[in-house]
Amino acid sequence: MSFFWSKRFWTVASLLLVANLSLYVVNADEAPSTVTVATWNLEWYFDHLTGDNYSELSKEQSAPSQEEYEWKRDRLAESIAEMKPTILAVQEIENRKVMLDLTTQLRNVHGLNYRVAFIEGFDMATEQDVAILYRSGMVEFSRREQSREMFESNEFYNLSKHIFAKFEWQAGGKTESLYVLNVHLRARAEQAETRLKQAKLIRLWIQPWLDAGENVIVMGDLNIEDLAGHASPGSDLAELLGQNTPNPDDDLYDVLESLPEEERRTHVILDKQFDRILVSPSLLRDEPDRKDLVFKSAAVREDLVIRGSRDGQEHWDSLYSIPRDERDLSDHSPLIAIFEFK
């Protein structure tokens, strides 16, 4: 075949390919009637293989045996299968491999298909990470970093454990989008200043979406000390909610506020509300001219964690000496928020 004919052949073939692609329109997933969003700190969901761990802490906290690792994997799958979340943000996981073990269990035993969004972070002290399990809707996920100018300003602090995700669903002939950020912020009361800087970074990143009226959820183990509905002026929670800005129209809503105060505890051992789902104003409004996603209700599911009586301090001191039928699955409860397409 001469060069002329070869060139003409590939030109025609390329045109046909483009023509065929132009006829193929990729639509978002069909919207379910409800979208259940949950966050759960799984507390050291690490396997028993320590050869890929480097810090002594991560080795100490890994499962002591394959049998114990599989016990926790199977019990977590049972609890997730009962919740059936559309989107589940998890914290304190080891890596993608343990998440794939979990999704395999969910599929093979419970008939539930989940996919995993995971990007390795850089918490070298604990080697803990975060991930998102999802059933439908995700179109992209990513991490973000500070610019050099931001870093040198000393106004912000990096998020070593976080993941962004964008979801899209077809609803009423239109595409409904949802931007999600799963985070695990610095722990302990004395780290409030560090968390405040992390909160400022989060607000900087999500502000353009809020300004555009997009659906936004910030969730995870925020480790904040303030109680829901009682953000201290200038605190990390106030910053996350947007209460440190003059415009109240972009303030996030803490779904724990929809619950009676006695039902807001998310830490199983401490009387704390570390785990939060913060939602944008757009998710609280039902737009009359289109089918959109609207917040309906929330719940803290202690019943999926506590086995027998609450473990208490023994959970931290001698976890694997506790009989399995009495051993709590985590020191955190799942927090769930249900949204409806209306």
What token pair was written down for 228? 């829901």
Please report where in the chains the tokens 């996920």 appear, as a residue.
141
- pLDDT tens, residue by residue, 270-290: 999 999 999 999 999 999 989
Which helix or strand (DSSP H or E) is residue 316 part of? helix 314-317
Instruction: Tell me the average pLDDT across 159-170.
Output: 98
Does the pLDDT at position 257 exceed 60? yes
Q: List residues bridging with 180 in a β-sheet.
A: 165, 217
Instruction: Tell me the average pLDDT across 13-38.
Output: 70
How many angstroms separate the CA atoms of 220 and 275, rounded?
6
DSSP letter string, 48-62 = S-GGG--SHHHHHHS
Contact call for residues 121 and 160 (beta carbons, < 8 A)? yes
Confidence at residue 20, expressed as pLDDT on a 0 to 100 scale:
55
- pLDDT tens, residue by residue, 111-131: 999 999 999 999 999 999 999
- pLDDT tens, residue by residue, 176-226: 999 999 999 999 999 999 999 999 999 999 999 999 999 999 999 999 999
Confidence at residue 164, expressed as pLDDT on a 0 to 100 scale:
98
Does the pLDDT at position 44 exceed 50? yes
Instruction: Tell me the average pLDDT across 129-152.
Output: 97
pLDDT grade for 245, boundaries at 50, 70 and 90 = confident
Instruction: Tell me the average pLDDT across 281-308.
Output: 96
Greatest alpha-carbon span in the chain: 82
Which helix or strand (DSSP H or E) is residue 136 part of? none
Dihedral of alpha carbons 74, 77, 79, 82, sign: negative
Core vs surface per residue 131-140: b (16+ CB within 10 A) or e: bbbbbbbbee
Confidence at residue 27, expressed as pLDDT on a 0 to 100 scale:
78
Instruction: List the one residue out of 210, 204, 209, 184 whose CA is nearest residue 89.
Output: 184
- pLDDT tens, residue by residue, 214-227: 999 999 999 999 99
pLDDT grade for 247, boundaries at 50, 70 and 90 = confident
Confidence at residue 1, expressed as pLDDT on a 0 to 100 scale:
45
Does the pLDDT at position 5 exceed 50? no
Task: Output the average pLDDT for the chain.
Answer: 93
